Every structure is written in structure tokens, then in C-alpha cells.
Structure 1
Amino acid sequence: MRELFRAERLPVLQNRTYETAAAAHASPTGDVVLVQDPQTGLVFNAAFDPSKLSYDADYQNEQACSGVFRQHLDSVAAIVDRYLAGRTLIEVGCGKGAFLELLRERGYAITGIDPAYEGENPDVIKAPFEAGLGLSAEGVVMRHVLEHMQDPLSFLNAIATANGGRGIAYIEVPCLDWICAHRAWFDIFYEHVNYFRLVDFDRMFGRVIDRGHVFGGQYLYAMVNMATLRAPRASAQDLIDLPGDFMAGVERAGALAGGAARRNAIWGAASKGVIFATHLMRRGVTFDVAIDINPAKQGRYLPVTALRVASAAEGAALLAPGDNVFVMNSNYLDEIITQSNNAYSYITVDHEQLL
């Protein structure tokens, strides 16, 4: 195996929040050792231990509170419509059910599966996927699931087998090429075992019906024929290395946070924000608050750093005009500026721009 990247003691579930600061400080951690298998070309965390992870109601990864993200879901639904309109669907890993409900509104007969589901839809099974559930459909949706599976090929094979070896699948995952190009060290998470590129899906499936990028290039998608799943084989051209200056942004962000007599806030208390805060606070940088518009996160504490999550209104009461707001995802920048009345100095961490 070729080692690409190493980070120690990251939160094992960066989207799990805690009721008290003490519980957050004591939250479990794990190491990340990214390697590439030269035979398959796949990139994964060789130090991953699945026994550390437990998805429950305290795991909050709902992004549909944002209008920007809802627009993304609409664009994904349009891709699904293009190939699966009128067909029965299963959504594996439906989360809190936002995309599932969107597809139901568009007329799909769809069953969801997710152990962290909190709603009351009788067509959602609150459990991990397994073949014994006896589910089958003409199409399968897997949005941000495959990166969590320790053995993605076996997981895909289990779904294909449970579905009678048939079906078209829409798969969406974070894009490793985008992470490398943007030096997005804050996008390396413990619970993401795998890191994919478009070429990986060309190798894993004999027929890729459609493929591309969504959400400003941060995610990639592939519409694939599940019957053509195969063991990938890599060539020398498929080998990858992370940029030599991949982690340089940590020091630059630290200098911006500590270079003036300003308060510092993180806007976006989800995965990127949690990892950003973990790296920076371990280097002595002080953050006064994390802001997030997801009500389920507000008033709770982020893992490891125990940074408290506030609403936009509460954040405004804690900050002064001109204070630093580190925007965790530039896709949301315009939305954040509007919600905060353009009162702060905004730093987009994925472009390292001060606005």
C-alpha cells in the first residue's frame, strides 16, 4: 500500500453533537492513515476501526436547512429523473429523509433505509442495509454512503445481489480530486473510510451510464448499471499523491485567526467545521463560537473541541462588526453574508480568501 496522508486523533463521528462540553471533550477519536491500493487504485483509511462508530439520533448531518443545499438536491433529483423516472426506488442511507421526501413529491415509490432516521414515514426502515431485509427495486440511490463503507465493493455486491443482480444506481460521494485541488485538509474525516475519483467508478463498473460533478465540484456522481459491477484494476496512470503543500492552509488559517484583535467564529458546524476547529484549536487558535442554521445542532457541543454551536441570531449577539467568520464551504457564502447582514470579515477556507 502507498501511504498518502496521516492525521491522528480525529473525531470518529464529526457530525455527532453532545449535550455537555465535558461529554464533547471525552468523545472518541481515531487515526487516519490514507493509503492507495496499487492493484485496485482505491484510496482508503488503513487505520479505520468500524467498532468505533455508532450512528444514532445524536448524529446530525441534515443539510437541507439551507436553501443552497436544497437547490443541490433539486439538481440531483433532475439527474435521477433523467434515468429512473417512473421506476421503483430504494434509497440506501436516506439520513433524515429530506431527499427521499423530495423524490416522493416527484411521484416516486421509494423505500428508505437508515439507522439514524428520525421521522415517521412507514416506508423508511430504521436499520443498516442488509440483504436479509428482502428489499428490491428498479433503481437504487446512494448519496454519501459509499465513503462510509469499510469494504465498498462488498457493500455494492451485497446490494446488487439483494436486488437480483439488476438495477440502475445513482451514487454520489465527495470528490478526492476536488479535495486535492483545493488543499481541503478539513475534508479528511475518520468516518469517511474511502476517497473516490471518477476514474474509480469507470474501473468498478463495466457500464457507467452517466458521470460528472455536482455541488460546485465538491461531489462526484455516477449513474451505473449494478449488473456490471467488477473488481477494479489500476494502471500506473491511476496512482495519486496528495499535493506537497496539502496542509499548508492550517498555518495560514491560524495566522488569519490570530493576527488581529478580533473574535473568531466558524460558520458551518458540520464535518468541515469540526475538522477545521480540531486542527486549529490544537495549535492554540481560539474560536469563540460555531454557527449553524440546523436547529438540531444549536446549543450543543462539537466533538473533541467542545466548541458550542449557536444560531445565526445568537452568533450575532456574541460577535462585533468586523470580527472574523471562517466560512467552511464557499458554496454557502452568499447565503451566509445575507443571513449575517454582511457584518463581518469573511474567510472562505476552501479558497483561502478574505472578503
Structure 2
Amino acid sequence: MRKCPLCLSANNVAIVERARVPVLQNVIVRTRAEALEFPTGRLSICGCQRCGFVWNDDFDPAAIDYGATYNNSVQASGVYLAHQAAMVDRVLKEKGDLHYLEIGCGEGEFIDALEKTGRLKTAIGFDPAFHGNYAFGPHITIFREYFDADSAVKVPDTINTVCSRHTIEHVPDPRAFVAEIAKFVKERKVRLLMETPDVTWILRRAAFEDFFYEHCSLYSPRSIQYLLAEFGLKCTVDLVYDGQYMWIEASPADNPPLPVAVTDFADGVAAGLAQALENWRAEIDRLRERGPLAIWGAASKGVTFALLLEGIDYAIDLNVQKQGGFLPVSAVPVVGPEAARHAGVSTIVVMNPIYETEIRSKVEEMGWNALVISLRAEAPGTSF
């Protein structure tokens, strides 16, 4: 185990080991054969006892290709759109025109949401996975590349807000990534906004399905504060999205204090994750006695859940681009709700509990007599 990539401490602990996981989860895989042969990597999740950072010690950046098949859109969910709208409001809480830079903008969904408010005057986005699905006007430019010192020269002086949502967790070298952004933020004297998963939420719930290859770097509120402070940024952290994500607002500061080091990882964290997985294996075996079983959610949580547990017949997803395909490695078919109902699915396991109410309403609206349960705060029989 190497030193912590964030604070460089050698006081680390092993959390999760998996020998063969797909290197990408949010992809469109069109054939079962392609799914079974999908590229894999090793997961060695470690945690730093000094700063609370969590990372995959066996992550290989060369294995990642955010190419034409990458698709992590959740724009079909009303619950997610409500969250997105709430984050748009946070970006716009300061008065005046918005001149915006987004690092890791994906397909530009968030930029499009900002545009619809009428407050966005100019925007620049950087993301190698951008496919050009939006017809943006001339005041919005998206570059299909990573943001670094060379690309920073493409950003006009008018920019007053820098944002990076759900990007830093994909970056294996957090110090280099934040160093580039902090340099830009301090030179331009602008604010920095970030959103990323809270690893504390994952650990407290023994959420074994939330560790996967793409997310090679996971943060707690303390570790993200530590990282930003190292590079001259003070920040506040709010929990959003039912506590699953952190919303971070940062600005330049002279010698911001580093958070006090406190151990984040109890002795039983690895055992608790393993026990939660075993409990769900028993639960799936029991539920399959009712008939065909589907998970709802063909994104990262669903890909991981289907990989670790046998007996998943279908993965349901509202993203029509994923329907008709297969989950990588497990080769579980991805279908829409109607197709799952037609196939006789009698049990639905909701991958993200935040969507449970929305999914129950959809199932009832369809007249579908299926049992709907979710990955609750604790797996059945778990005391962790």
C-alpha cells in the first residue's frame, strides 16, 4: 500500500479488495458477448487514518477511456432534476451576471440548466467525454479535453465562477488536480464550487455497491477541506442529495488552517462491508423465490450490485440509450420499465434509496404488481 495520495501519510488501512471489476460502469454495451469480455481492473480500496481520504491503490489511468459509449445521464429522473435545480440555485445565489467555467462538464446538462435561467452570459466547459448533444449558442464553448495549465489560457478573463461537479472522484492524483484549479482560482480571484460523493455516507451504511473503479478517489468533508487548504483555499461543506453528496464552496485565503486529524475508520469497517454483502446475497436468494428479480438503476451502483450478487435477471433504467444493452462484465440485460413488467418481474430492488418514492409511483401508475424494496440505510440483518 502506497502513501496517501492526498496528505502523503503512511498510516493507512485496507477497506475493500476485489480482483475483477469493470473499469467503467457508465457505458452503453450493446451485446452480451461484449459485456462478458469488458475490460476489468483490480479494486484495492484504502483509507488514510490521518486525513480520511479513500482511494483505489490499484487504479490505472491508462485503463480508462471516456469514449463514445460513455453515458452517465440521469436526466430522465424528476428527483435528480430537482436536485440539479437546487444546485443551479446555489450557483446563482450571488447577484449579477454569471460568467462560468465548468471542469468536467459531461454532456453539458448543468450548463444547459444554467442557460435556461437567463442569468448565464458566457460559459466554458472542459470534458473529454463530451459528445455534443446540446445545440449551444456562440456564448457557450465546450472543449473535448481535460482542464490543465495549457487549457486554462482558453478561458476568458470575464469568468467569475469555477465549478466542478462529480469529477474529482475520477482523478487519481488529487494534489495535481487541485493545484491547477487553485492556481487558476487565486490568480483570477474567483469562487470555486464543487460537488462530489461523501465517502462517510458510504461507510456508515456499509454500501458495498458504492465502491467501483471509476471512483478512484473518495472524500469526506474533512479530507476535502484538508486538500483545498493545502493549496490556499478555505471552504464550507454542505451535505446535499439526501446526504450522499457534498456541496463545497471555496475561495482564496491566506494560510487557511488544516483540519485536525481524526481517525475516520473503525476497526470493523471492512468486516461490516463484507457482512452487508453476505446479507444481501441471502436476501436475493429469498426474493427470487417470488419470480424474476430486477434492480432499478443501470448506473454504477447497479453495475456493482449485479457483479457481486448472482440472481439478477434484469436492470431497469429510464435512460433509453442504455435500454437494450447489457451491464458490463455481469451481462445483465438493461430494459425499460414496460419490458421488465412484460417479462414478469415480480421484485424490484432500487439501487439508490433517494429514488424509491419516484419508482414506487411509476410502478403503481403502470398497474404493475411488483414488490419494490431499496438498498436501505442498513442491509437486512446488519448491525454495522
Query: Separation in 1 of the partners of 2:308 and 2:182?
Result: 39
Kept in 2, the 8 Å contact 1:180–1:243? The answer is: no
Question: Structure 1 residue 239: deviation in Å?
Answer: 4.1
Superposed displacement of residue 178, structure 1: 0.5
TM-aligned CA distance change 1:253 to 1:230, over 3 Å:
same
- 8 Å CA contact 1:140–1:168 kept in 2: the answer is yes
**Deviations for 1:37-70, whole angstroms, at most 9, x for unmatched residues?**
4555422111110000000121110011101000
Q: Distance in 2 between matches of 1:343 and 1:66?
A: 22
Structure 1 stretches lacking a partner, 5+ long: none
**Counterparts of 1:49 and 1:314, CA distance in 2:** 37
Name the counterpart of 2:149: 131
Q: Select which of 357, 360, 374 maps to 1:348.
A: 374
Distance change >3 Å, CA 184–CA 222, structure 1 → 2: same
Give the SS at the match of 1:88.
strand
1:116 is the counterpart of 2:134: no
Distance 2:246 2:252 in 1: 18
SS for the counterpart of 1:340 is helix
Hey, what's the Cα distance between the residues in 1 that align with 2:80 and 2:88?
Answer: 12
The one-letter amino acid paired with 1:138 is N
| Unmatched segments (≥5 aa) in structure 2 | 1-9
**Which residue type is aligned with residue 160 of structure 1?**
A
1:233–1:210 Cα change, 3 Å? closer
2:97 to 86, 97, 100: 86
Preserved CA contact (<8 Å) 1:302 1:308: yes
Q: Quick one: structure 1 residues 31 and 316, their matched pair in 2 at CA, closer, same or farther if it must change by over 3 Å?
A: same
* Aligned mate of 1:210, from 220, 236, 241: 236
Identity of aligned residues (%): 29
Q: CA deviation at 1:165?
A: 5.6
Question: Aligned partner of 1:253: which letter?
Answer: W
1:299 to 315, 324, 341: 324
TM-score, with structure 1 as normaliser: 0.91
- Pairwise CA distance, 1:149: 0.6
Q: 2-side partners of 1:295 and 1:245: how far apart?
A: 36
Match of 1:184 in 2: 207
SS in 2 for 1:244: helix
Whether 2:271 is the aligned partner of 1:258: answer no
| CA distances 1:221-275 after superposition (whole Å, capped 9, x unpaired) | 110115669896762x144243631222222222222222421101100000000
Flag the 1:81–1:248 CA change in 2: closer, same or farther, 3 A: same
Is the CA contact 1:209–1:225 (under 8 Å) kept in the aligned structure 2?
A: yes
| Correspondence 1:286 to 2:311 | yes
Contact preservation (8 Å) 2:280, 2:379: no
Cα–Cα, structure 1 residues 228 and 198, in superposed 2: closer, same or farther, change >3 Å? Answer: farther
How has the CA–CA distance of structure 1 residues 251 and 308 changed in structure 2, closer, same or farther, with 3 Å as cutoff? same
Q: Are residues 1:59 and 2:70 paired? A: yes
TM-score (norm 2): 0.84
Residue by residue, what CA displacement relative to the aligned partner does 1:68-118 show, whole Å, maximum 9, x if unpaired? 000000111111122475231111111121111011122212211111112
Tell me the SS of whatever aligns to 1:245: helix
For 1:26-175, list aligned pairs within 5 A. Answer: 26-38=37-49, 40-83=51-94, 86-106=97-117, 107-108=119-120, 109-119=122-132, 120-121=135-136, 123-133=141-151, 134=153, 135=155, 137-162=159-184, 164=187, 166-175=189-198
Secondary structure, aligned partner of 1:69? helix
| 1:269 counterpart residue number | 298
Provide, for residues 278-297 of structure 1, a one-character-per-residue CA deviation record: whole Å limited to 9, x for no partner.
000xxxx2222111000111
